[in-house]
Amino acid sequence: MAGPPSYKAPTGTHDVLPPQSGRWASLIARFAAAAGRAGYGLVVNPVFEDVEVFRRVGEGTDIVRKEMYEFEDKGGRRLALRPEGTAPVVRAFVQHRPPVPWKVWYAAPGFRYERPQAGRYRQHHQLGVEAIGSADPDVDVEVVALAWRFLAGLGLQRTILLLNSMGDPESRAAYVEDLRAFLRGRRAELAPEDREKVDDHPMRVLDSKRAATRAVTREAPRISDHLTPSATGHFSRVQAGLSDLGVPFALEPRLVRGLDYYTHTTFEIQSSALDAAQNALGGGGRYDGLVEALGGPPTPGIGFGIGIERVLLACDAEATFTVGDARVDAWVIDVTGGAAARALTHELREAGVAADRGFDDRSMKAQMKAAGRSGARVALIVGEQEAASSTVTLRDLATSEQRTIARADVVAEVRAALDKEPR
RNA sequence: GUGGCCGUAGCUCAGUCCGGUUAGAGCGCCAGGUUGUGGCCCUGGAGGUCGGGGGUUCAAGUCCCCUCGGUCACCCCA
């Protein structure tokens, strides 16, 4: 293409700007607080990993088969941008071998090369936790409840929690055989697009949205009928625990989720407020074989990921968790050249008062206009008269009342006007 | 990867079907009305290669082809 360069954020990516970014930041802060209260510490992983880290996690999944951002660095290493959050955390666990249970949370971007649509992006952001090293069903309960309570705490009400168990590997192997046999017998009734999945990935057929397929899978064998006694025991204890905490859930035997590594508990939280096709706000499950697959000792684990963009979309749809105005307390106006504004804003900020000012030595009118637009509660005005008498005019921008105060009393007067405690 | 719809000022859009002088509106921005005072009002101004390229034509924002981008959906997922 000719002409001057005209750059845009790459397809499927977005800039998050004020004031929306304020909401973004506060969402993460809330999650950090919730996870912190539950004993989870922050983990920060690299945004790219050896491509094998992700391959080991799901050879057969679309995520690794066709959606990974893979590249070779200048040293010839094969790397990939993280398509999901669990694998890097598990890799870090295997590398550092922290004491268990290891409970961590993260807020990180995920990258998948796919066509964007409402609620789906090439770079999206996830909030998540991982609890590695305990097979206790109470860990499942804690993790699921954390996700549920976090979303409820934002004011989201039109959410449903879907719960299923994939069982242990023996349960699962037996079930897959049974399901495959069933689907082969009914193959002709399936939607054409789903027929080819029957042989290689029969469980993928279960989450098809096509009506013809769903009619068949309604009658398909259920994994709950194939669970070993111990897997059934684990799952019942999870359900009992959730009920005990008042977390409502619906059993969904067809919930298999996209990643191959899940065992036992899997769950997904959907929003019925989103009319978009992508209505899963988050999901996760247990992955008792994953640590071993990445070279560690046999170690159980469970976690979830919540999509920040989708949660915010759901909040929009339910008109909750709205953008808070990031207002400053005071606006400093200086028509004597700017030195007074420089000193005053600095002094106020040092004293803990949020203060801002205009630049470029603009007219009184222009500076007042900026002050009004900023949403500040008070304006501090320094003109020739104030400068000459070591005073400042303090104006309440809501009531338009103003009075002249001594320059030396500015911090105290502003604090009083804002009803703010000294720091 | 496949399909539908859409690309005109910073934003939201009119104008495109039936081609015709300097491409418009609202909002926002800047300035003035008020030589020290915001929000309301009035006046004025800046800002556009009509996504890009090619073609048809005396003439293209408008018609044709290609291309890029956006959006929604499928596959699948957060």
Burial A358-373 (b: 16+ CB within 10 A, else e): beeebeeeebbebbee
Residue A42 lies in a domain: yes
How many structural domains compose chain A? 2
Residues A197, A213: contact at Cβ < 8 Å?
A: no
Contact A393, A404 (CB under 8 A): yes
A46 is near strand B: CB distance < 7 Å? no
Whether A68 maps to a domain, the answer reads yes
Question: In a structure prediction context, what are the per-residue pLDDT tens digits for chain A, which is 423 residues long?
Answer: 334 556 888 889 999 988 889 999 999 999 999 999 999 999 999 999 999 999 887 766 777 778 899 999 999 999 999 999 999 999 999 999 999 999 999 999 999 998 899 899 999 999 999 999 999 999 999 999 999 999 999 999 999 999 999 988 888 888 888 888 898 888 888 887 788 888 877 888 887 778 788 888 888 888 888 899 999 999 999 999 999 999 999 998 888 776 778 899 999 999 999 877 788 999 999 999 899 999 999 999 999 999 999 999 999 989 899 877 778 999 999 999 999 999 999 999 999 999 999 999 999 999 999 999 999 999 999 999 999 999 999 999 999 999 999 999 999 999 999 986 555
A112 in contact with nucleic chain B (CB within 7 A):
yes
Q: Which domain holds residue A123?
A: 20-168+228-317
Q: Is residue A339 part of a domain?
A: yes
Last residue of a domain, one of A317, A351, A367: A317
Among A265, A286, A317, give the residue marking a domain's end: A317
Q: What is the CATH number of the domain that holds A348?
A: 3.40.50.800
Class of residue A72 by CB neighbours under 10 A (exposed 0-12, middle 13-18, buried 19+): exposed
Bases along strand B below 7 A from a protein CB: 1-3, 29-32, 34, 36-39, 49, 51-53, 67-78
Domain boundary residue among A266, A283, A317?
A: A317
State the burial class of residue A113 (Cβ atoms within 10 Å of its Cβ: 0-12, 13-18, 19+).
middle
Distances (CA, A) of A215 to A183, A210, A212: 12, 9, 5
Closest nucleotide to residue A376 (Cα to C1')? B38
CA distances in angstroms from A251 to A38, A161, A266, A267, A303, listed in the order given? 26, 9, 10, 9, 19
Distances (CA, A) of A363 to A356, A359, A367, A370, A382: 16, 10, 6, 11, 12
| ipTM of this complex | 0.86
Tokens of A339: 């030195």
- Judge contact between A205 and A194, C-beta under 8 A: yes
Q: Is residue A263 a contact partner of residue A137, using CB atoms and an 8 Å limit?
A: no
Structure tokens of A75? 């040293």
Instruction: Kindly state whether residues A139 and A249 are assigned to the same domain.
Output: yes
The spacing between the Cα labelled CA in A277 and the C1' in B73, in angstroms, equals 8
